[in-house]
Amino acid sequence: MTAPTAHADPAYACADEACLDGVELSALARRVGTPCHVYSASAIRQRIEAPQKALHGLDARICYAAKANSNVAILQLMAEAGLGADIVSGGELWCCLHAGIPADRIVFSGVGKTAEEIADALDAGVARFNVESADELQLLQRVAAERNVIARASARINPDVDALTHAKISTGKSENKFGVSIDEARDWFTNGTALTHVQLDGLHVHIGSQMLSLDPIRAALRRVSEFWRELAAAGHTIRSIDVGGGLGVCYRAGHDHPVSIDDYADAIREALAGYDGRILLEPGRWLVAEAGVLLTRVIRIKRGQQRQFLILDAAMTELIRPSLYDAWHDMVPLVDKSRPLQTYDVVGPVCETGDTFARDRTMPECKAGDLVMIKGTGAYGASMASTYNSRPLAAEVLLDQGRYAVVRRRQTLEEMVAGEQAAHDWEAT
């Protein structure tokens, strides 16, 4: 079996889409099997470096949104680059710590933190909590008091700004479940002296994901800035302003036009001019999405009365975004480009009509066994995967300058059901 080829080019650039980070994808697929998620370490490092340069001179910390891709190898790349993490569960806390991200670089977000999760985060020593409700604020106070520690917290404000993105990933409108109104947050600060074990000294905002315009970002930053200045004038010290994440990426070539990272940094500098505390950023998708692809093979072509179905061995179990969000992902058959063009509905084998990657997609003619690359899957691909239809989780592979390493082996059927058992031991409540 042929091993993936390492290219001699020092930059490990590829002449065409048949290789990634210096590794031949067809050879990789033969070695690892399909479907499999593939990530370029070089591309991720380049993405990390770009905002670090753009934010030079600011007291800014990038906290990678772990939900985008929480594979330990990806988290280790973030740790090695000095990034922190934005987490939304106790599981993500464990994964980030396990990967080497220090607790004092971790911020804990999310509307449903439990007492147990808060306790674990306090014991670990996380940097701060982004608090999303009055009930959570009181729970944080109680759990911190039980441990006789001071929890540092930021109020997540909901600025009622439309992120101009898909409704299911919009988080900054008043109808969304995230954050609180500025009026409610103002009351928190006014009554903050009652919080004996919570130091409320930060603001947080995150209005949505896959944003391709700076306009809603500027609007949210402007409201945060105005509120910070109001609080400062009232004598409240704001040591941290978390501007969230949400920058969009290019899923559809020629159609999606992502915001320039330099323009984004300039918008932050302009809105927070004069602020001398720490600025936190929470990019997730932007750091990893375009660094990943999903390799899959054609099972067969099914010719219906009105449509041709290109049936792949990948499914909504490996990439649910098209089913969940009607999301577009560019697809590239790794075949001879001189083949005639055909139009397909691209689908998976799962028994759901929603297991559809694309409709009326035109591409070079495909045959059973051909390799297809689905692009832009480094974020919210593997992290949203499932074993529906009893399909074991796919392998994940990290590429780095002509080398590859399997960073999640393909799940076996035995591993898939390892936590299950027959009902032998019955107990009464």
- pLDDT above 80 (res 162): no
Q: Give the domain 19-40+289-416 fold.
A: Lyase, Ornithine Decarboxylase; Chain A, domain 1 (2.40.37)
Cα angle for residues 170, 110, 243 (degrees, 5° grid):
60
Q: Enumerate helices (H) and strands (E) in the chain, giving the number of each.
A: 12, 19
Question: Residue 373: enclosing H or E segment and its boundaries?
Answer: strand 371-375
Q: Quick one: pLDDT at residue 208?
A: 84
Whole-number pLDDT of residue 52: 97
Cα separations in angstroms, 405 against 20, 23, 39, 400, 414: 13, 11, 10, 8, 23
pLDDT-above-70 percentage for the chain: 93
Residue 359 confidence (pLDDT) above 90:
yes
Give me the helix-helix angle, 261-271 and 41-54, nearest 10°.
30
The catalytic position among 14, 250, 351, 366 is: 351
Nearest CA to 397 out of 292, 263, 249 is that of 292
DSSP-assigned letters across all residues of 16-31 = STTEETTEEHHHHHHH
d(CA 195, CA 94): 28
Q: What is the pLDDT of residue 175?
A: 56
Q: What is the structure's pLDDT at 160?
A: 74
Residue-wise DSSP of 148-186: T--EEEEEEB------SS-GGGB--STTSSSSB-HHHHH
| Residue 164 predicted with pLDDT over 70 | no
> Tens of pLDDT along 62-114?
999 999 999 999 999 999 999 999 999 999 999 999 999 999 999 999 999 99
- Does residue 263 register a pLDDT over 50? yes
For 389-398, the pLDDT digits (tens) are 999 999 999 9
Query: What pLDDT is stored for residue 134 in this prediction?
Result: 95
Whats the size of the chain, residue-wise?
Answer: 429
> Which has the higher per-residue pLDDT, 161 or 97?
97
Give the C-alpha distances (Å, rounded to integers) separating 170 from 158, 174, 211, 246, 321: 11, 11, 9, 9, 15
Q: Which residues of 291-310 are buried (b: 16+ CB within 10 A; e: fewer)?
A: bbbbbbbbbebeeeeeebeb
| Domain 19-40+289-416 identical in fold to domain 41-283 | no
Helices (H), 15-111: 25-32, 41-54, 72-80, 90-99
For the question of residue 351 being annotated catalytic, the response is yes
DSSP secondary structure code for residue 203 in this structure: E
How high is the pLDDT of residue 26?
Answer: 97
Residue 173 has pLDDT above 80, yes or no: no
Q: Provide the 8-state DSSP code for 120.
A: H
Class for domain 41-283, per CATH? alpha beta
**Structure confidence at residue 170 as a pLDDT band (50, 70, 90):** very low
pLDDT digits (tens, 9 = 90+) for 35-63: 999 999 999 999 999 999 999 999 999 99
Structure tokens at 106: 């971790």
Cα 198 to Cα 49: distance, rounded to the nearest angstrom: 34
Model-wide pTM > 0.85? yes
Q: What is the mean pLDDT of the chain?
A: 93
Share of the chain above pLDDT 90, in %: 88
Residue 186 has a pLDDT of: 95
Residue spans per domain, the chain: 19-40+289-416, 41-283
